[in-house]
Amino acid sequence: MRHYLQFSDLTTDEYAYLFDRASLIKKRFKAYEKHQPLVDRTLAMIFEKASTRTRVSFEAGMYQLGGSVVHLTTGDSQLGRAEPIEDSAKVISRMVDLVMIRTYEQTKLECFAQNSRVPVINGLTNEFHPCQIMADLFTFLEHRSSDKNQKININDLKGKVVAWVGDGNNMANTWLQASSIFGFKVHVCTPRGYEVDPKVAGMTSQNSFEIFRNPIKACEGADLVTTDVWTSMGFEAENEARKLAFADWCVDSKMMSSAKPDALFMHCLPAHRGEEVSAEVIDGPQSVVWDEAENRLHVQKALMEFLVLGHQ
């Protein structure tokens, strides 16, 4: 049994397989062809934080695969009344085939997985957001395919430069993990006090990232510029302090113009126009944020199929 708790839980070859599979699943979806390998299987989704994309993509995705979904939140389950995670995991995993969890500390997710009889997927923790980065990489590969038939080839990521302009948060940590798996480089630029901690990210290679102090310099030569909200869920008490610290970390057209002319812009969403990104950039021609959001559906369908049934 395999879990997907952080990006490094899968190998480069497994990602290559999943991206191929996601392409096929996406083609079938667009052609209204059924792809239902998970008939009679059930996914439990546990949300301890808010969500739009993760909820819709996992729920719609599981129904499209032929299965069904149970949706739980802290407020409407015994999770919010201090039932131990171990007990919840033992019970829930006897009744379903797969569990997706969005929670706070990664340790909570790990505790659930250790006590689960079925695969567990990270739908976002304070430390990581692996499903999002899987969708982001798939989106990059679709837009930058070197193949004449637009086939996805993970080697197209090799040697590329991704500029991370923003908080050293769950998204930043996950980009760092992905860089050593796919052989691209991350230019990380955060305000002082909001740096990434390579140890938290679980980095195996020091060569795949470089720290910058100036966001414009970080964007120089980038193939992809990406950012995220200044204040992540769970950190709302720091909102005012963060607004001051991040004032110069707005991805605007000046920053984009220091990247490569064909650089893409990504944001996991939800976005705050005028804070971490200007409206001109997120709604402009280099932005691929809507493809990025849609691809959550396709890559996660491939992931769910893989975790429940293995290679097809």
Catalytic positions, written as ranges: 102, 129, 132, 228, 268, 296
> Binding to ligand CP by residue 295, rule CB under 6 A?
no
170 binds ligand NVA (CB under 6 A): yes
Contact track, ligand NVA, 242-281, x by CB under 6 A: --------------------------x-------------
Angle (nearest 5°) at CA 210 between 16 and 248: 110
Residue 53 in contact with ligand CP, rule: CB under 6 A? yes
d(CA 245, CA 247): 6
52 binds, among ligand NVA, ligand CP, none (CB under 5 to 8 A by kind): ligand CP
How far is residue 7 from each of residues 10, 63, 118, 257, measured CA to CA in Å? 7, 25, 18, 30
* Strands of the 98-102 sheet, one edge to the other: 68-73, 42-47, 98-102, 120-122
Query: Is 92 among the residues that bind ligand NVA (CB under 6 A)?
Result: no
d(CA 42, CA 266) in angstroms, rounded, equals 32
Listed ranges 48-56, 145-153, 255-263, 277-285: which one lies at the site for ligand CP (CB under 6 A): 48-56
Of residues 114 through 133, those in contact with ligand NVA by CB under 6 A are 124
Cα–Cα dist 166/75, whole Å: 31
Within 219-238, the residues that bind ligand NVA by CB under 6 A are: 228-229, 232-233
Burial class of residue 31 in the structure, from the number of CB atoms within 10 Å of its CB (0-12 exposed, 13-18 middle, 19+ buried): exposed
Q: Does 73 interact with ligand CP (rule: CB under 6 A)?
A: no
Name the 3-class secondary structure at 267.
Answer: strand
Q: Does 300 bind ligand NVA (CB under 6 A)?
A: no
Q: Name which of ligand NVA, ligand CP, none residue 170 binds, using a CB cut-off of 5 to 8 Å depending on partner kind.
A: ligand NVA
> Locate tokens 């038939």: which residue?
149
> Nearest distance from residue 192's CB to ligand CP, in Å?
26
Stretch that binds ligand CP, among 50-58, 62-70, 150-158, 208-216 (CB under 6 A): 50-58
Task: List the structure tokens of 33.
Answer: 């062809």
**Torsion, Cα of 133, 138, 139, 143 (10° steps):** 140
229 binds, among ligand NVA, ligand CP, none (CB under 5 to 8 A by kind): ligand NVA
51 touches ligand CP by CB under 6 A? yes
> Given CA atoms 280, 192, 262, 153 in this order, what sign does their dihedral have?
negative
Residue 12 sits in the site that holds ligand CP (CB under 6 A): no
Nearer to ligand NVA, 165 or 229 (CB): 229
Instruction: Provide, rounded to whole angstroms, the least separation between the CB of residue 91 and ligand NVA.
Output: 27
Phi, psi of 275 (to 5 degrees): -105, -95
Binding region for ligand CP (CB under 6 A) = 51-54, 124, 132, 268-269
